[in-house]
Amino acid sequence: MTWPWCWPRWSARSWRIRNCGAGSSAAGVISRWLNHEGVNVKVVAVTGATGFVGRHLVAALARAGWQVRLLMRRDPVVAEWRDAQPQIVAGDLRDAAALEALVEGVDRVVHVAGLIKAARRESFFSVNTGGSVKLAEALQRRAPDAQLLHVSTLAAREPQLSDYAASKRAGEDAVRRILGARATVIRPPAVYGPGDPESLLFFKLARGSSVPLAGPPAARAALIHVADLVSLMVMMLESPDGGVWSAADERPAGYTWREVFTAAAAAVGNPDAKLYDAPLPLLRAIALAGDVGKLLGSANMLNSLKLRELRHTDWSVPVAQWARPAGWSPTFDLARGFADAVAWYREAGWLPRP
């Protein structure tokens, strides 16, 4: 039975339903209503929609013709979603009922939500592993035919390096154990582009007369622009294969730290910046300060475990693991991608204009 007060309510930015009767989820009511009205839609549920990658993904999914359903604590105010008209399920990854409402009747699920910094190991595992388990279990119960695209990280390849990497690898393993071939995993490398607060530090450093390089000279790391990543993810949703894949731009073999910062310095208009290898004792001292912060309950991006990730020599993507579905190719090389990111930072006031 569908309760009369369960029909969808438009809140200027999104569909939202509350107070549905027993056995009738808000999101399910919306889907049935759309189909009743003769609207043939394919529905994708997304977690982590307000994060850096998630914001771009929702807009890309809407452009590709998907009806997007989001798990959120509050109504979104995201400029990129003006045309998306997402359905909203109120809740978070800890709420089993909300997760069931999120996935009921969907065709696909994209799990983007995750914790990238935390003061305690338990926090990483609670969100990155525990949340993934709860979502996969909800999918088993309420959407037995739906496919999951699980967004992990290239760091999951080396779970011994950090609590973050270990928790993401455990999340991968859990969803594949629960869902089998219905779960496809994508491991992005370092992602950059408009709206990314984490990459901003690289461009701020690149504005200096002397630029420290935190990684070893021989280290290589793959990168990808956020627009290329979300276009890849949208394409992977069309033909999920149950594999574990890694994302990268046109150079899956990656870049050296010197190449990355040379390109960053050029993008911010500082081509004469002098690059030097940061002394390892200095990096360890900075990381130690982050460790002390962790003990005091502060979640810092740089600590001893994160330094181990930064100092790892191989964050490249083997060609055999490189996600390249038919019809997809990256559109941003490093120079053009960095220029695009810097233009956005300047427009937003995050970096000074030249």
pLDDT tens track for 221-239: 999 999 999 999 999 999 9
Q: Are the CB atoms for 183 and 175 separated by under 8 Å?
A: yes
Q: Coil, helix or strand for 338? A: helix
- Say yes or no to pLDDT of 298 above 70: no
Q: Are the CB atoms for 67 and 41 separated by under 8 Å?
A: yes
Provide the residue type at 135 as one letter. L
- Say yes or no to pLDDT of 109 above 70: yes
Domain 1-187, CATH class in plain words: alpha beta
In which band, very low, low, confident or very high, does the pLDDT at 19 lie, cut at 50, 70 and 90? very low
Residue 39 exposed, middle or buried by CB count within 10 Å (0-12, 13-18, 19+) = exposed
Across 54-68, 262-276, 283-297, least confident range: 283-297
Q: Mean pLDDT score of the chain, rounded to an integer?
A: 87
> Helices (DSSP H) in 252-279: which residue ranges?
257-267
Mean pLDDT of 316-325: 97
Domain limits of the chain? 1-187
Longest dimension (CA), the chain: 69
Angle between the N-to-C axes of helices 132-142 and 96-103, in degrees from 0 to 180, rounded to the nearest 10? 50
Mention every residue, 6+ apart, whose C-beta is less than 8 A from residue 273. Answer: 206, 207, 208, 209, 210, 211, 261, 265
CA distance 17 to 57: 23
Q: Coil, helix or strand for 28? A: helix
Q: Are the CB atoms for 152 and 117 separated by under 8 Å?
A: no
Mean pLDDT of 115-133: 93
The whole-model pTM stands at: 0.86
| Pairwise pLDDT comparison (74 vs 98), residue with the higher score | 98
